[in-house]
Structure 1
């Protein structure tokens, strides 16, 4: 009986070693897609929507929409490129000379970008959109 138990245990362990462990996705893979956040200026009531779209080739686009409620809706698109390295994301916005560096935290459904190098640290929390 011990021999049978040992053989079964050996087969179970060998089979478990063959089953691929769920490979954790890297931030490079997780960030691909569109992300959105909406904020309201409590003083003016203006609503700012930001949508970040990250493509696999390193290109990105940021869509800003401001609804002031008074003068209508204004929107702007900024093209950019990005590079992820060591849990930081470097954004190069078109027309700007310096990269913006954010500490990066990304999961399947949430993206958090935290400013670095400023006395007033700010975070942008975005939700994945379809």
Structure 2
């Protein structure tokens, strides 16, 4: 072994990424691609929302090393649920539960809740 470096110095590594979810006034959600920083993920989701959404945009969540699910019972923010969890299935289950609870509270049919979108972060390969 040479004294110039560790045998592990040339090993590839992975970097965790962050994704952002922005929501417009109508309840549509916009999920950024995987980014290296929270700021970039926030800006990317907000930019997409401003470009393609309707009305004012707000950041719903940022998530890292997780999956997100968005559920709603039709357009409008009243029943929209954005949930991050360790797995896509876990996020879907909780998002549907939250949407159903919001629909019931608003005296809407709970069976109208649907999953509108899901996404997970992807680690980036770096050298």
TM-score computed with the length of structure 1 as normaliser: 0.32
RCO higher in structure (CA 8 A, sep ≥6) = 2
Q: Which has the higher helix share?
A: 2
Which entry has the higher C-alpha Rg, 1 or 2? 1
